[in-house]
């Protein structure tokens, strides 16, 4: 009886000690947290969406990190201003140029609102409205902020508009240590990770862009590719 009690107690301690809480859709935050293992750092989150649920930086925020969160939906940024008032929270549509583009809009705070017509056509949901919105480059945003901090972690999740983000961002100047970026393979019949094909990732423009800018591909979770800059490697 006593032996069973101590065995149960041992199992319970292990359960508590090794419990891992993730706020990401696919546990990206656990990987990033494991990479850094530190209580302070800077993140840059483009397409940040909700400040807590399905969010890749909330776990870091809870540990003491801070940073810049950017989303094209004002209601999402309003939530950031409540939950992360010490972060820089910006309501912008980030793209390759300062211009006007079409937004394929489903509803407020929708995670599939997109500037990419091809991605919108791929979705099963019906577009509620096609809006014309102003866009700005990430370079311009950071310049206006006089941003001169080292970026530990950069996350990009903009529903197929990721390459456009990089076109307006100076990777050589800012060189985030770790980048996670959503990769939507529209050659799939269904966007499910069991249909992933590594060969298409490797041959994608997104992969080649980062590899050619001194990044190494180190992990893949669902639709998120994780890259590490060579200066951050041991």
**pLDDT 10s digits, 23-58:** 999 999 999 999 998 999 999 999 999 999 999 999
Query: Which residue range(s) make up the domain with 172?
Result: 20-91+138-232
At 8, the pLDDT band (50, 70, 90 cuts) reads low
Q: CA 206 to CA 12: how far, in whole Å?
A: 44
DSSP assigned state of 225: E
Quote the pLDDT of residue 5: 58
Rg (CA), the chain: 19
On the question of pLDDT at 63 being above 70, the answer is: yes
- Give the confidence band of 2 by pLDDT, cuts at 50, 70, 90: low
Q: Is position 59 within any domain?
A: yes
Q: How many CB atoms lie within 10 A of CB 175?
A: 18
What Cα–Cα distance (Å) separates residue 119 from each residue in 123, 163, 166, 174? 6, 13, 18, 28
Instruction: Report which of residues 121 and 77 the model is more confident about.
Output: 77
Decide if 99 is inside a domain.
no
Contact 177, 231 (CB under 8 A): yes
d(CA 205, CA 66): 30
d(CA 148, CA 111): 30
Is residue 126 domain-resident? Answer: no
- Which residues make beta-bridge pairs with 43? 67, 153
- Euclidean distance between CA atoms 75 and 93, whole angstroms: 13
Residue 186 lies in a domain: yes
Q: Is residue 190 part of a domain?
A: yes
Q: Which helix (H) or strand (E) holds 75?
A: helix 74-83
Q: Of 76, 88, 79, 84, give the one whose Cα is nearest residue 60.
A: 84
Confidence (pLDDT) at 11: 54
CATH code for position 197: 3.40.50.150
Indicate the average pLDDT of the chain: 91
CB proximity list for 49: less than 8 A, separation 6 or greater? 55, 71, 73, 76, 109, 111, 157
Total of domains in the chain: 1
Of all residues in the chain, the percent with pLDDT exceeding 90 is 69
132 within some domain: no
pLDDT score recorded for residue 92: 97
pLDDT tens readout for residues 13-27: 666 666 788 999 999
> Residues 58, 29: contact at Cβ < 8 Å?
yes
The token pair at 11 is 């199992």
Q: Is residue 185 part of a domain?
A: yes
Q: pLDDT band at 162, cuts 50/70/90?
A: very high
Q: 39 in a domain, yes or no? A: yes
């Amino acid at each position: 009886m006593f032996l069973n009690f101590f065995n149960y107690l041992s199992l319970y301690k292990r359960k508590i000690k090794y419990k891992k809480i993730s706020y990401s859709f696919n546990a990206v935050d656990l990987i990033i947290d494991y990479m850094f293992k530190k209580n302070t750092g800077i993140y840059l989150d483009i397409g940040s969406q909700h400040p807590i649920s399905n969010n890749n930086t909330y776990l870091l925020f809870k540990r003491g990190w801070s940073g810049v969160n950017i989303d094209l939906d004002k209601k999402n940024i309003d939530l950031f201003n409540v939950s992360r008032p010490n972060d820089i929270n910006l309501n912008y549509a980030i793209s390759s140029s300062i211009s006007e583009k079409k937004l394929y809009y489903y509803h407020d705070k929708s995670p599939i609102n997109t500037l990419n017509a091809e991605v919108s056509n791929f979705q099963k949901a019906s577009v509620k409205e096609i809006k014309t919105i102003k866009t700005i480059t990430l370079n311009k945003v950071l310049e206006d902020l006089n941003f001169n901090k080292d970026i530990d972690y950069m996350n990009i999740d903009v529903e197929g508009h990721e390459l456009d983000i990089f076109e307006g961002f100076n990777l050589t100047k800012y060189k985030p240590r770790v980048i996670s970026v959503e990769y939507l393979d529209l050659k799939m019949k269904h966007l499910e990770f069991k249909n992933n094909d590594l060969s298409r990732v490797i041959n994608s423009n997104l992969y080649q862009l980062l590899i050619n800018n001194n990044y190494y591909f180190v992990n893949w979770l669902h639709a998120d590719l994780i890259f590490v800059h060579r200066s951050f490697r041991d």
